[in-house]
Structure 1
Amino acid sequence: MYPTKKWLALWEESRPLLQSPSPLGEYFAAGELNGRRLALLPMGNLSLPTGQLLAGDPFYYLDCPDALPYYQPRPLPTGEFPVQAAVLLPQEGDEGDWPRYAAVEVIFREKEAVRYEEALLGSEELDRLEEGQYFGFDVNSGLAAICDQETQEAYRLFCDRWYRRNPQGDLCRDYFEPLFAQSYRAAPLYQREQGDWISWTVPGTQLTMPIFQSGYGDGAYPVYFGYDEEGEICRLVVQFIDLSQPEEHPSDQLSLADFDHQPGLSEGEIRLPQWDELFGCCGPYTLLLNTDLDHPLDRFTAVQLGGYDYLVRYQQPIARAILEGLWKEYPRLRRRSPWEGAEKRRRLPPVKKAEELARLLRPVTVVLHDQCWDGLPYVGVEFRCTWDPKFGFGVMLWEDQIVAMGGAETAILSSIARKDLDAQRSAFQPHTEEL
């Protein structure tokens, strides 16, 4: 889709607002930026037969027929181009963290970029753009990819063919996860055991695209074209982590003195203002640190601090996962409800979308469990709910993935987290599978 004349006029006016506020060139040139250590990770090549570029979540966007390439004010060269990631290394003492990809870059020309400007599709509402805002693409699988338009079309056909042969299968889990694990075994540098990147060639073609982890996970991330001194596009950068300012951890504000400590359990508070707005509450919420210690907690662990930071940073994705998980179970809840008539309509009203369920819930307690996977703890959330005022509603999560839902005790029982963790460990059997 080519942009309209009206959009192009707005784009010209808005270009100063589209400049990257981050020093993206320094991500790939400096070993340290604002006190944080960086390393470079080559990721193979990107095939660019048409010069039309796309970027997005490979399982929630690039597999769709309506995915669009970026509007390019200057043409891109065609051919094979190197890809590399700027890897943010864990800080000293962050035993529970792992290398995260702060940005991924495609190099079209050897000349350095002198400015970076956000890449757009040509349909964005530029008249609403304000300073400090960006458009970007959504990630829902924890992964992102960059590809040529021809590669994207071949990928879509591959997905269709795979699902015809595997109607009960899951493309990400059954096909790609083994490839990521194989990538780790072949090149473990700056990867977790399950793998964090692959350079994937669409079967039956010579079209290659990189697929890689998205920094801190799901979210919305901007894409920038880098322009050289002659005004030519020489880079494409997907930015996952803003390194323009020294890093701040929400957990830096935590103090042991603010917690009531008992053997195996410490009780404090957590403020989640985005939950206040979504659920119509007024925090703070009770925060429980559930440990296996036989003595009171004498220091926060890296897993507890990382879990606290994750909760504060990703309030919306976590809440969205809870509401969407409940949305799937809501018809069953209504069918099995003991309430009838007007009382049922009040306590379990018909809803048209997952977000409407927020008015039926009130968060009460957040639990950080000792059990962790990849450095992040299992998290339980206890709610008051309209349909079960006596026992409430509870969810166990890891990141923004639902592990279990049920009564309020679901959030508290560490045995639920332990059982899922054991299942994850036993299920992680790297293997390869070909189409």
Structure 2
Amino acid sequence: MRAARLLLCAAAAHVPVSASAAGWDISKASSNFELVAFSDAELSGRSIGAIHMGNVELTSGRIVAADPLAQPDRPALARTVAPGEYPVTLYQAFGRIAAASIRFAEGKPDHWELAVLPGQDPATLKDGEIFGYPVDAGLGCYMDADTLGLIGEREAQVQAQKPDSDVNYYDDVVASDLDANKGIYALHRPVAGRQGNVAVFWSGWGDGFYPVFWGLDKDGRALVLLTDFSVVENADGRKEPKLQ
């Protein structure tokens, strides 16, 4: 099944990221928005495990959702939040990370909005199309846009320690953090003693193309951000979705 899932994700990576017609329906983009409203016990009853991995430090409130190894310099999302430290929760099913969320405020979202980069407009999407981010290293992340500079500093530090070798940020830096959690997730701090970390986690069944959504209250205030890795449907891990 895993091989089939990887093929499905690879195909999804070629979904167009822009279109020229209105009428796009967010309810067709994900059926897993209820994940963020369930308690740990309710999730367990649906065969979904919750991993509370700690807080991501958003120093500017400009959030990058991306593959941290293949595309760390991806632009930040257009919507911003107040700087602060916010808890990240992972939702695990079928031995994979099915989704990942950041919680900004308590409460159940009143409605959901597709997270976009500056210049992207969901109204331009046709049915079956979506904005999202590509994954080529099997990982997703949340981090502040300012943290990219710290990653560059850490890379330079490692390079200075081994000037005659190429630096591989995964092998030389991130792998040891992930290994502490069976390779599944890590709160990676690029530079010790400096504020700004990266919530890194498995991306569903592997490489692919994945959407991110804002859960908003009735006044349009951001309560939660959710990445859906297309592992479960209807916020339920008791029955694996059929391949399309």
TM over 0.5: yes
Q: In the alignment, is residue 110 of structure 1 matched against residue 115 of structure 2?
A: no
Contact 1:27 1:38 in 2 (8 A): no
Give CA-to-partner distance per residue, 1:365-395, whole Å, 9 cap, x none.
xxxxxxxxxxxxxxxxxxxxxxxxxxxxxxx
- Which structure is higher in helix share? 1
Q: In the alignment, is residue 17 of structure 1 matched against residue 64 of structure 2?
A: no
Change in 2 beyond 3 A, CA 1:159/1:169: closer
Aligned pairs (5 A) from 1:334-353: none
Q: Which residue of 1 aligns with 2:216?
A: 227
Equivalent residue for 1:26, pick from 26, 32, 35: 35
Distance in 1 (alpha carbons) for counterparts of 2:84 and 2:225: 15
Give CA-to-partner distance per residue, 1:105-141, whole Å, 9 cap, x none.
0000112212221111123475751123212101111
Q: Which residue of 2 aligns with 1:68?
A: 75
Distance in 2 (alpha carbons) for counterparts of 1:83 and 1:229: 23
1:224 Cα offset (Å): 0.8
Q: Which residue of 1 aligns with 2:65?
A: 55
1:213 Cα offset (Å): 0.6
Give the secondary-structure state (helix, strand or coil) at the position aligned to 1:163.
Answer: helix
- The list of structure 1 runs, each at least 4 consecutive aligned residues, that deviate by more than 4 angstroms after superposition, is 13-16, 30-33, 125-128
1:82 Cα offset (Å): 0.7
Give CA-to-partner distance per residue, 1:300-345, whole Å, 9 cap, x none.
xxxxxxxxxxxxx8xxxxxxxxxxxxxxxxxxxxxxxxxxxxxxxx
Q: Which residue of 2 aligns with 1:247?
A: 240
Q: Percent identity?
A: 24
1:103 Cα offset (Å): 0.6
Give CA-to-partner distance per residue, 1:401-429, whole Å, 9 cap, x none.
xxxxxxxxxxxxxxxxxxxxxxxxxxxxx
Give the secondary-structure state (helix, strand or coil) at the position aligned to 1:177.
Answer: helix
Aligned pairs (5 A) from 1:267-278: none
Distance in 1 (alpha carbons) for counterparts of 2:70 and 2:83: 26
Give CA-to-partner distance per residue, 1:162-187, whole Å, 9 cap, x none.
33433334221232212211x23xxx
Give the secondary-structure state (helix, strand or coil) at the position aligned to 1:113.
Answer: coil
Distance in 2 (alpha carbons) for counterparts of 1:131 and 1:101: 26
Q: Which residue of 2 aligns with 1:217?
A: 206
Distance in 2 (alpha carbons) for counterparts of 1:27 and 1:82: 12
1:143 Cα offset (Å): 0.9
Distance in 2 (alpha carbons) for counterparts of 1:78 and 1:180: 26
Give the secondary-structure state (helix, strand or coil) at the position aligned to 2:25.
Answer: helix
The TM-score, its normalising length taken from structure 1, stands at: 0.45
1:148 Cα offset (Å): 0.8
Q: What residue identity is the alignment partner of 1:29? A: F
Distance in 2 (alpha carbons) for counterparts of 1:15 and 1:147: 32
Length, aligned pairs only: 216
Q: In the alignment, is residue 131 of structure 1 matched against residue 141 of structure 2?
A: no
Q: What residue identity is the alignment partner of 1:222? A: P
Distance in 1 (alpha carbons) for counterparts of 2:116 and 2:59: 20
Q: What residue identity is the alignment partner of 1:180? A: L
Contact 2:101 2:226 in 1 (8 A): yes
Distance in 2 (alpha carbons) for counterparts of 1:15 and 1:236: 23
Give CA-to-partner distance per residue, 1:77-96, whole Å, 9 cap, x none.
221111111111x3xxxxxx
Give the secondary-structure state (helix, strand or coil) at the position aligned to 1:162.
Answer: helix
Give the secondary-structure state (helix, strand or coil) at the position aligned to 1:37.
Answer: coil
Change in 2 beyond 3 A, CA 1:172/1:17: same
Q: Which residue of 2 aligns with 1:45?
A: 55
Give the secondary-structure state (helix, strand or coil) at the position aligned to 2:100.
Answer: strand
Q: What residue identity is the alignment partner of 1:80? A: E
Q: What residue identity is the alignment partner of 1:85? A: L
Contact 1:18 1:134 in 2 (8 A): no
Q: What residue identity is the alignment partner of 1:45? A: N
Change in 2 beyond 3 A, CA 1:100/1:28: farther
- Whose radius of gyration is greater, 1 or 2? 1
Q: Which residue of 2 aligns with 1:121?
A: 117
Aligned pairs (5 A) from 1:31-430: 37-62=47-72, 64=73, 67-72=74-79, 75-88=80-93, 90=94, 99-124=95-120, 129-166=125-162, 167-181=165-179, 183-184=180-181, 193=182, 195-204=183-192, 205-244=194-233, 247-248=240-241
Contact 1:27 1:86 in 2 (8 A): no
Contact 1:28 1:86 in 2 (8 A): no
